[in-house]
Structure 1
Amino acid sequence: MSGLRVALIASSRHPIAQPFAGGLEAHVWHLAAALRARGTAVTLFAAAGSDPALGADTVSGPAFAPSAAAAGDPSAAPAPFLADHHAYLGLMLRLRDTGRAEFDVVHNHSLHYLPVAMAAGLGVPMLTSLHTPPTPWLESAVALGGAGGSAFVAVSEHTARLWRPTIGQVGVIGNGIDIDRWPIGPGGPDLVWTGRITPEKGTHLAIEAAAAAGRRLHLAGPVSDPGYFRTAVAPRLGSAVVYHGHLHQSGLAELVGSCAAALVTPCWDEPYGLVVAEALACGTPVVAFARGGIPEILDPHSGVLVAPDDTAAMAAAIPAATALPRTRVRHRARTACTQQRMVEDYLRCYRRLIDAAAPVAGLGAA
């Protein structure tokens, strides 16, 4: 696949750089790095400030400042919506005009509707990775425009099932991590929780479970909802609950590897569960709510699943989880969560799309 030219479409709001805004940004960063390591030319469409060390050609969407007349329209959408719309519209128009000459395939990771809605007009094959359950805007674009433009894969079987009523058959390519960046750690007596600090991630439930288990809890991640942090998390901080801030990957790996178990407490059905894979790579067993795609990652040798929102059950499961051999836990990451497997799957998918589009492109050129 040397010489392949791939455009990766990411978030127009968040740079693809450490410390990552969320799992989606981390995923795109690692995919871009892994593709380049395989000899692929990568162009990244993302927010300004993305990591220059990736070596990718990074292109930010055009900024938008409405005129005074447009800004005064009482029916105008909120400014963030307009900014996203303008950025993705500009990107898709650029790809419509130059995409066939610049790229062999476009790989869409955004959650915006416009890349899917406009995919059929690009003249270059597009693959969309479905990182979330259906949302109204994206589902509308998929239902009306996706069938003739983009191909689709989901990040878990759980996510694929939710999309099949709209798309039909959709394959699965699970997210993967660079195992070498998450070395096995020595463990320790404490517990750890990582992720965006926001109500749907259930940080407060991890605090409750750790308190019930009588263990100290370490927290790390960006404060995505300041009001939630202020009311549900900050009052509990102290010697038993320690917040380490928003860590870069190496510091996060060190923290996770130093703990006895990781608690994963989503209050919604996680499409994949990247923090689970990261903990397993560090040899740190996971106790998680059985929601979304998480049960597809964990097995009995790497962690314990408990009923959603049941912090008492989570606390009770911690001794069993911490008794699991850390080498067996890491083995699960090696067999189920590797970046190498993910990249090989995506490269095969790219090749199928390119080969399928070749006769059509040839006819168009003639």
Structure 2
Amino acid sequence: MPLNRSSPPPRLKILILSTPVGALGSGLGGGVELTIANLARELRSRGHTIAIIAPLGSQLGDLPTIQVPGELQLTAQTQEQAASISMPGDPVLANMWATARAIQHDYDLIFNTAFDWLPFYLTPFFDRPIAHFVSMGSQIAAIDLAIERVAVDFPGTIGVCTRTQAATFSFGDRCHIVGGSGVDPAVYDYCDTPEQTLAWLGRISPEKALQDAVAAAERTGMKLKIMGKIQDPDYWAQIQCDYPHAPIEYLGFLPTHQLQQALRTCKGLLMTPRWVEAFGNVAIESFACGVPVIAYRRGGPAEIITDGKTGFLVEPDSIDGLVSAIARLDEIDRAQCRHAAETVFSQSVWGTVMESWFYRLVD
């Protein structure tokens, strides 16, 4: 669909392919789930036609979803750099992409959110342009190679969240930085009278280093609200064993309206990843509630948080750094956090970035 520059931009028909590691709404997909839902709603509000191919059992409200059965894929972050490419016997990933290939001519563009080898391998076999949204840094060498081939053969089609993430790839200069997501501030209630509590959001798995936040909460005596999917039950059990007296409360994996109610009254959010986080959706959700963020100076959060204004960046893996920053939370003007969500990290702002990228690829 060549674009006519003398007329208003055409409305696009966009087919979104979800992550294959879990049904949307389950929490297994991490931040990608919020990214898909918010982007789909924003693009639809602009008049574009949207359909989402996702694993069976996905829940996306009124968003049109094509649900595909099959076995879920292993998450990349649980595998080693030298891991071989593998798929289960009846892979939902392959089934989703077979569905996409069968209906591709009904759409102008395909938007891929799966961080897996297969979509990149299949790219030359599709007639429609594919915008690949890469939501993690370098994890598995075989996937890196597949992404690099697409970056070379199909310039401009690899989108990444941040410069820090791009730098983990040898082909980072070929990646197009599009940001990681955007939030609708109207969905989040601002609070300027917090309680003496802290929050931690995310998948409960070793690379997220929840134990660091628990240790900081124990030292400060401040209650820590923990929200997210327990992806590694043994890891969660070990944290409870190691910190039996820590003031923690596990609230489970919460839908957005419940999450923001629990988050908005917290004095601060802790982000403690041991890996290079590509972006950090939980940070911008926190900003929308007026909650400042304390994070390790590593990965995407270092590009999201303005140190001393919307939170604090501390030495990676330093519990002392977390504790010191917690003591300074009163220095942050919570209105600045909300302002960042409204002007820099809003769903509307990000929608414009993504829409422009899509138009270039279709053109």
Q: CA deviation at 1:89?
A: 3.1
- Aligned-residue sequence identity (percent) comes to 24
Q: CA deviation at 1:298?
A: 0.5
Paired residues for 1:97-176 under 5 Å: 97-99=102-104, 101-134=105-138, 135-149=140-154, 151-163=157-169, 165-166=170-171, 168-174=173-179, 175-176=181-182
C-alpha distance in structure 1 between counterparts of 2:270 and 2:172, whole Å: 34
2:64 corresponds to 1:60: no
**RMSD over aligned Cα atoms:** 2.3
C-alpha distance in structure 1 between counterparts of 2:213 and 2:150, whole Å: 41
Q: CA deviation at 1:97?
A: 4.5
Deviation track 1:307-336 (CA, whole Å, cap 9, x = no partner) reads 011111110111222331211121122232
Identify unmatched segments of 5+ residues in structure 2.
Answer: 1-8, 73-83
1:240 alignment partner in structure 2: 247
Residues 1:322 and 1:60: Cα distance change in structure 2 (over 3 Å):
farther
2:291 corresponds to 1:284: yes
Q: CA deviation at 1:162?
A: 2.1
Paired residues for 1:281-320 under 5 Å: 281-299=288-306, 300-320=308-328
Task: Answer yes or no: is the 8 Å Cα contact 1:127–1:153 preserved in 2.
Answer: yes
Task: Answer yes or no: is the 8 Å Cα contact 2:111–2:131 preserved in 1.
Answer: yes
Task: Answer yes or no: is the 8 Å Cα contact 2:189–2:264 preserved in 1.
Answer: yes
2:335 corresponds to 1:331: no
Task: Answer yes or no: is the 8 Å Cα contact 2:292–2:334 preserved in 1.
Answer: yes
Q: CA deviation at 1:353?
A: 0.9
Residues 1:41 and 1:229: Cα distance change in structure 2 (over 3 Å):
same
Q: CA deviation at 1:226?
A: 0.2
Deviation track 1:56-93 (CA, whole Å, cap 9, x = no partner) reads 132415569xxxxxxxxxxxx99x82257x43334434
2:231 alignment partner in structure 1: 224
Which is helix-richer, 1 or 2?
1
Residues 1:119 and 1:293: Cα distance change in structure 2 (over 3 Å):
same
Task: Answer yes or no: is the 8 Å Cα contact 1:61–1:90 preserved in 2.
Answer: yes
Task: Answer yes or no: is the 8 Å Cα contact 2:165–2:300 preserved in 1.
Answer: yes
Residues 1:323 and 1:146: Cα distance change in structure 2 (over 3 Å):
closer
Task: Answer yes or no: is the 8 Å Cα contact 2:200–2:226 preserved in 1.
Answer: yes
Residues 1:90 and 1:15: Cα distance change in structure 2 (over 3 Å):
closer
2:277 corresponds to 1:270: yes
Q: CA deviation at 1:115?
A: 1.1
2:197 alignment partner in structure 1: 190
Deviation track 1:97-148 (CA, whole Å, cap 9, x = no partner) reads 541x211001111011111111122111111111111222321212334532
Residues 1:131 and 1:51: Cα distance change in structure 2 (over 3 Å):
same
Q: CA deviation at 1:238?
A: 6.1
Task: Answer yes or no: is the 8 Å Cα contact 1:147–1:167 preserved in 2.
Answer: no
What TM-score do you get using the length of structure 1 for normalisation? Answer: 0.85
C-alpha distance in structure 1 between counterparts of 2:350 and 2:212, whole Å: 31
Aligned residues: 339
Task: Answer yes or no: is the 8 Å Cα contact 2:27–2:203 preserved in 1.
Answer: no
Identify unmatched segments of 5+ residues in structure 1.
Answer: 65-76, 356-366
Residues 1:199 and 1:91: Cα distance change in structure 2 (over 3 Å):
closer
Deviation track 1:185-239 (CA, whole Å, cap 9, x = no partner) reads 2311111111111111111100111122231211111111000011113663667
Q: Could you tell which deviates more after superposition, 1-10 or 231-240? A: 231-240
Name the SS of the counterpart of 2:328 in structure 1. helix
Residues 1:218 and 1:234: Cα distance change in structure 2 (over 3 Å):
farther
Task: Answer yes or no: is the 8 Å Cα contact 1:32–1:54 preserved in 2.
Answer: no
Aligned AA for 1:120?
Answer: P
